[in-house]
Chain A
Amino acid sequence: MTTETQDEGLEYNFAYLDEQTKRMIRRALLKAVAVPGYQVPFAGREMPMPYGWGTGGIQVTASILESEDVLKVIDQGADDTTNAVSIRKFFQRVAGIATTEKTEEATLIQTRHRIPETPLSEGQILVYQVPIPEPLRFLEPRETETRKMHALEEYGLMHVKLYEDIARHGHIATTYAYPVKVNDRYIMDPSPTPKFDNPKMNRCAALQLFGAGREKRIYAVPPYTDVVSLDFEDHPFEIQGWDQPCSICGDSTSFLDEVIMDDQGTRMFVCSDTDHCASRQAQGYQGPGQEAAE
């Protein structure tokens, strides 16, 4: 199956990757889904973008994309930033599929750093771009050793990291890539999503796939799987909170970005999920910033 592109004489296989590569990646995906949280090595390909820009996620997306899929791409919560725009364009061009910015309309969502505020539903697939898949990496540099630790479930070291946080800051100061235990077995790095999103991973109705291009690893969380954030009995896991709502849509339950407005240090807080914010505005919600402007 090939897709005609605007460029004359240039033809890509559907979704850029050749069928053999897709097959190889799908096999890795099947294994990953069968062993939730386990990092499956795969023969990652060179993609037409640098490592760190989502080469892992894009390979996973390309392997599972079908012509009737509707794709949404998120970069730091937003649909309109460089990474999101270019990946969306890439798939429009090489697969000719439909794209959307609406979470509910998407069948496939590739994301960097955020899980949409709108709860995901059955049948949707969330693909994460992962820079460093190994949660134990900065504590134990040897890959042979970390693999052994996963195999033997020796996870004491992960708590040493949290201990260090409390000893240094008085509370668990890890705010992103917060380690989780999947299905009561593997410790997993949920990619650099803020820990605010960790509870959304737990028993999520959608299939969650993780692709790390540079490290050539794939892992997955099947629908309705337990995902528990690690903590101490006397320092339980908690998510960030803000003492003001989004200044555009007034939501006080979503993840907010801090935006510096001028040289005087004026700042405003806005929803990081642009689709969530826009649909609330369309429903007539207003934040304190909007009211002041009127």
Chain B
Amino acid sequence: MTEQENLQTPLLSAQSVTKTYGPHLGCSDISFDLYPGEVIGIVGESGSGKTTLLNCLAGRLTPDTGAIFYTDRLGSALNVHTVSEPQRRMLMRTDWAFVHQHARDGLRMTVSAGGNVGERLMAGGARHYGNIREQALDWLEKTEVDTSRIDDRPDTFSGGMQQRLQIARNLVTGPRLVFMDEPTGGLDVSVQARLLDLLRGLVAEMGLSAIIVTHDLAVARLLSHRLMVMRRGQVVETGLTDQVLDDPQDAYTQLLVSSVLHP
């Protein structure tokens, strides 16, 4: 498959994904395509089904109906929820990355920063301590974590450092698709700004595709190319980020955009 064709095949394709929790709706009938190198933002208020959708996409939750297809490095489309479990877990630790809102959910708090970054490498078969450590140092530097703290445990890190370490741990194996759930949630604004700057740089540099769930429109504007606005489990508006935010068509999107203070 040529590079050109590659860019025309969606990397991830969601087809009428629906997930309910008993009588409660998680997300309903959602379809979209994500192309290589593209960053899609999912915005909406709390409880609108953003995280449910993301977990379905990332294979962490099984949707009630609908299917999700992922195009692997060989160009074949895999149904994320019907491939064998070993294959899905293999995808999760090689091709994909998942950045949790709370770094504690994505890190091993009792293992040093270097061990955290090295885990994916060792899971992939790396057995040379020197090389693993070198790559860990390299990634700590890229994510602006002080390299002298490589042997410290993440529970001694600040919230912003933990989040950057989580990103390093996820990106070290060079994934193709990154899922992020509120990556800047709970961080103060100056730390958020640095993290966003870092993420934007890495996404551009590595040519990553990403799906970012956030309730923060500023984060969405900075990182994503396209935007999906969700409300009560449904997508109410999609479009290019600037278009959606500057000229919202749906009443709810208008409300959402006008709710943001501009200091």
Contacts and interface: CB of A to CB of B under 8 A. Distances in A.
Tell which of A148, A163, A166, A233 has the most Cβ of chain B within 10 Å.
A163
B122 A163 contact: yes
Bin chain A's interface residue count: 10 to 19
Contacts, number: 53
B114 A152 contact: no
B118 A160 contact: yes
Nearest to B130: A234
A199 B110 CA distance: 30
A147 interface: no
A156 B119 contact: yes
B129 A235 contact: yes
B120 A156 contact: yes
A167 interface: yes
Contacts of A163: 114-115, 118, 122, 129, 132
Given A159-B127, A234-B128, A168 B119 contact: no
B22 interface: no
Nearest to A162: B129
A160 B118 CA distance: 7
A62 B115 CA distance: 43
Given A152-B86, A167-B151, A160 B115 contact: yes
A157 B116 CA distance: 10
A159 B122 CA distance: 7
A148 B86 CA distance: 9
A11 interface: no
Interface in B78-134: 85-86, 89, 108, 111-112, 114-115, 118-120, 122-125, 127-130, 132-133
Contact of B115 (A164, A232, A234): A164
Contact of A154 (B123, B128, B132): B123
Contacts of B122: 156-157, 159-160, 163
A167 B114 contact: yes
The 7 closest A-B pairs by CB, nearest first: A156-B123, A159-B122, A232-B129, A156-B122, A233-B128, A152-B86, A167-B151
16 contacts: A139-B108, A139-B111, A148-B85, A156-B124, A160-B119, A163-B114, A163-B122, A166-B129, A167-B112, A167-B150, A167-B151, A232-B128, A232-B129, A233-B127, A233-B129, A235-B129
Interface of B: 85-86, 89, 108, 111-112, 114-115, 118-120, 122-125, 127-130, 132-133, 150-151
Given A139-B108, A166-B129, 12 more contacts: A152-B85, A152-B89, A156-B119, A156-B125, A160-B111, A160-B115, A160-B122, A163-B115, A163-B118, A168-B151, A232-B127, A232-B128
